[in-house]
Copies of this chain bind each other. A is one copy, B any other.
């Protein structure tokens, strides 16, 4: 049967699938180092690792992704051969709830776990927005006290600093879904006798608030009213609220700006009505000695109290926030690091109490060269009902998720991205009949703990040295017939060669160093070590 070209199957395309990416060498190492630093903080805080598979049942995952109307939209789902619907996890929180419900008899309570791994979102990819990304989470299950939330916020600040974000370059912003519930109540969007009433409107409001950063107050305003047409002409239906309802909600959403104006336009409000008997006290020092910064959190609480203090869940939410701020303040985490911000709502549907978000406050240039704030790199909150879905029993839980890939992108944008380097010593092959000898030299270098390899490709000297250069090799080892006869090897200082070539080395002493050196073969290892030490010095 002769082969017919037309019948030959076409070649598969060598392409990363749409919305996915590959990570090479130094990028992989940079992430591993960052995960090591963050999980070291988690461990020190008493969290233990847990790993689940990438696949869960669709029913266990639940439907909590934002902006999702159709079932299974937002996840990659497929049917098992026993007809169970399976899906790739979209976060590490839903699997934790499943694990805790499944193993609560044998797990300690509280169960404090951290988890690291990729998650998948079946979303439209965009610039810098991928359909697989890494998260690094820590959660406490079984702790009702907001001390658990305060601890997570403090740990998040510590973890960001361990990951290489300087203090002042990030802000952990806290809010409480209960305060938002209070706002809904005050705005007439919550009917205590029928909690499901107005749920569509509330959904629109939450998603609108979550977009404040991106759309600005006017965009949110439009979504609370009739709706909003975006740049592409697509129309998003609004919540159709009344002017009065919109005013209440904007007073909450825009609280940060209102409080800032209040504090900047005069002496700190002399009537600052900090709720009494709530376990936190504004010291006189807070009012005066450190100005607006230190007073911030209390001024926000005061503003919220005026707005929703008469609602029961609003008042409860404000008291919880006060306790959190109180605990954090006592541990030295002031509003320079952790601050109240009513515009934080978090998109995921499962939050029930305090919510938090870490944003990076420095500016970067976007893909069109315009400066913009880097934005959110981590988020979390309390989700007291997620385990209850499985067990029927209330199980308090709270936790945070750090978006590791976004954090790496942020460091790269600050010019602190992954650095290539530390390539292997390359033992060049001049004489193929001598492979065992080259392998022995490479073996000796490896035995001394050095990275080393015999060149295994094709090509002559120039190609082998170009390879060593491309691999960032510190040293190339060269031995041909002549060298073997004389019992010596040539060492080429690749680092010095590169520095000389790039004109980096102007120091006369350096220039005097030979870029190539002949040494006895039995002194190979120590001579290579010395050459590497010189390059590193």
Question: What residues make up the interface of A, taking CB atoms closer than 8 Å to B?
Answer: 1, 11-18, 20-25, 27-29, 32, 43-46, 48-57, 59-60, 62, 76-78, 80-82, 84, 86, 88, 98-99, 101-103, 108-110, 112, 118, 120, 122, 131-132, 140, 142-145, 147-148, 150-151, 194, 196, 279, 326-327, 330-331, 389-392, 423-424, 426, 432-433, 435-436, 439-440, 443, 446, 449-458, 467, 470-471
Q: Is the contact region of chain A dominated by helix, strand, or loop, or is it mixed? A: mixed
CB < 8 Å: which of B82, B144, B331 contacts A436?
B331
Once the chains bind, are B44 and A457 in contact (CB under 8 Å)?
A: no
On whether A446 and B45 interact (CB within 8 A), knowing A54-B132, A60-B14, A436-B327, the answer reads yes
- Residue of A16, A132, A194 contacting most chain B CB atoms (<10 Å): A16
On whether A50 and B76 interact (CB within 8 A), knowing A14-B98, A98-B14, the answer reads no
Once the chains bind, are B446 and A44 in contact (CB under 8 Å)?
A: yes
User: A151 to chain B: which residues have CB within 8 Å?
Assistant: 439, 454, 456
For the complex of A and B, 10 pairs with smallest distance between CB atoms: A46-B453, A46-B424, A14-B101, A330-B436, A28-B49, A143-B456, A20-B53, A12-B59, A14-B390, A14-B102
Once the chains bind, are B17 and A84 in contact (CB under 8 Å)?
A: yes
Give me 13 A-to-B residue pairs in the complex whose CB atoms sit less than 8 angstroms apart, sorted by A's number: A14-B101, A14-B391, A16-B52, A17-B57, A18-B80, A29-B49, A54-B120, A76-B78, A109-B467, A110-B456, A143-B457, A279-B433, A331-B443
Once the chains bind, are B51 and A144 in contact (CB under 8 Å)?
A: no
User: A51 to chain B: which residues have CB within 8 Å?
Assistant: 22-23, 27-28
User: A433 to chain B: which residues have CB within 8 Å?
Assistant: 279
CB < 8 Å: which of B49, B82, B279, B327 contacts A25?
B49
Once the chains bind, are A196 and B110 in contact (CB under 8 Å)?
A: no
Once the chains bind, are A11 and B389 in contact (CB under 8 Å)?
A: yes
A42 to chain B, nearest CB (A): 10
How often does this chain occur in the complex, in copies?
Answer: 2
- In the complex, residue of chain B having the shortest beta-carbon distance to the beta carbon of A469: B108
User: A196 to chain B: which residues have CB within 8 Å?
Assistant: 1
Rounded to whole angstroms, the CA-CA distance of A416 and B395 in the bound complex is: 36
User: A453 to chain B: which residues have CB within 8 Å?
Assistant: 45-46, 112
A529 to chain B, nearest CB (A): 14
Rounded to whole angstroms, the CA-CA distance of A177 and B52 in the bound complex is: 37
User: A432 to chain B: which residues have CB within 8 Å?
Assistant: 145
CB < 8 Å: which of B27, B45, B59, B454 contacts A147?
B454
Once the chains bind, are A82 and B18 in contact (CB under 8 Å)?
A: yes
User: A12 to chain B: which residues have CB within 8 Å?
Assistant: 57, 59-60, 62, 389-390
Rounded to whole angstroms, the CA-CA distance of A109 and B468 in the bound complex is: 10
User: A109 to chain B: which residues have CB within 8 Å?
Assistant: 457, 467
